[in-house]
Amino acid sequence: MQVRLAIKLSALTLAILLGIFFGMGFYTFYYAKGYSYLYDDPTVCTNCHIMRDQFDGWQKASHHAYATCNDCHTPHALIPKYYVKMENGFHHSRAFTFQNFHEPIQIRPKNKHVLLDNCLRCHDNLVSQLVSVGSYHNQETMDCVRCHGGVGHGPRE
């Protein structure tokens, strides 16, 4: 009898703790508008105040009419795209929660690789000669934003 009661109390305690954990998780996801990150709407990036300058710059930039945030900053295959979004969401949430981020915000090397791959994918017909083997601008050393930093987020001030 005692053992059954102990098992029932343990199960009840576990159920309550899991309910609290998932309830807080779902509320946080709802409060932080986490669902909005599943779409491609560029205004989502302004959920974080630190991204306002990038969004405003993008609206003034030459790519505004052709590309949204996800066109440049996420892979285009379905699973890698949402993996990068999930990884960045976790990284940004942790950084903003603990106020541990660089201001102005900077792109991480892994994300810059995604960005540069997308530059080359969209502009392949223009740059294919530049990135050929033996060229000064090859895929390993290519850094499009070093010279063309204003096309995605407008002119730097």
Residue 131 has pLDDT above 80, yes or no: no
pLDDT tens readout for residues 98-118: 888 888 788 899 999 999 889
User: In which region does residue 99 sit, left (phi positive, over 0), alpha (psi from -120 to 50) or beta (all else)?
Assistant: left
Is the Cβ–Cβ distance between 30 and 24 less than 8 Å? no
pLDDT band for position 134 (50/70/90)?
low
Instruction: Tell me the CATH number of domain 52-153, given options 2.40.480.10, 3.20.20.80, 1.10.3820.10, 1.20.1090.10.
Output: 1.10.3820.10
pLDDT band for position 95 (50/70/90)?
confident
Q: Spell out the alpha helix ranges (H) of 1-141.
A: 2-31, 52-60, 69-73, 78-97, 109-122, 124-127
The answer to whether the predicted template modeling score (pTM) of the entire model surpasses 0.95 is: no
| Rg of the chain over all Cα atoms, to the nearest angstrom | 22
Domain ranges of the chain: 52-153
* Cβ-based neighbours of 38, under 8 Å, separated by 6 or more: 82, 85
Residue listed under structure tokens 């609206």: 59
Is the Cβ–Cβ distance between 137 and 48 less than 8 Å? no
